[in-house]
Amino acid sequence: SQKIEQNSEALNIQEGKTATLTCNYTNYSPAYLQWYRQDPGRGPVFLLLIRENEKEKRKERLKVTFDTTLKQSLFHITASQPADSATYLCALDVGYDMRFGAGTRLTVKP
């Protein structure tokens, strides 16, 4: 069956450190993968998209990697801040639709 697994339900780190979140998938062949941020009671907000032919994508303090051989994406937040505390979702394309992982809840402590 198809699965999208985000390895940690919750991740706690100290302010200033780098947060690394993992997304693994099985029985999908996505052409691209996206990462979203979701705050409590709010809708997901798009952060980054990476295509299958791209190894790495950066946007300010965010970095995403995509390894189609390992079927894995890593999402990094460098110099983390308490304001980065949220749930981060990875999403895979399934034709014209997107399917989401369960998310990793990140808490950045001052």
Partner 1 sequence: EPEVTQTPSHQVTQMGQEVILRCVPISNHLYFYWYRQILGQKVEFLVSFYNNEISEKSEIFDDQFSVERPDGSNFTLKIRSTKLEDSAMYFCASRLQGGLNTGELFFGEGSRLTVL
User: Helix, strand, or coil here: 91?
Assistant: strand
The residue range among 12-20, 31-39, 59-67, 69-77 that interacts with partner 1, by the rule CB under 8 A, is: 31-39
CB of 42 to partner 1, least distance (A): 6
30 makes contact with partner 1 (CB under 8 A): no
Residue 18 CB-half CA count within 13 A: 9
What distance in Å separates the CA atoms of residue 65 and residue 105, rounded to the nearest whole number? 19
60 makes contact with partner 1 (CB under 8 A): no
91 makes contact with partner 1 (CB under 8 A): yes
59 makes contact with partner 1 (CB under 8 A): no
| Nearest alpha-carbon partner for 61 in 107, 18, 22 | 18
Tell me the number of residues near partner 1 by CB under 8 A: 25
Task: Indicate the DSSP class of residue 18.
Answer: P
What is the identity of the amino acid at 74?
L
Provide the binding-site residues for partner 1, judged by CB under 8 A.
31-32, 34, 36, 38, 41-46, 49, 89, 91, 93-103
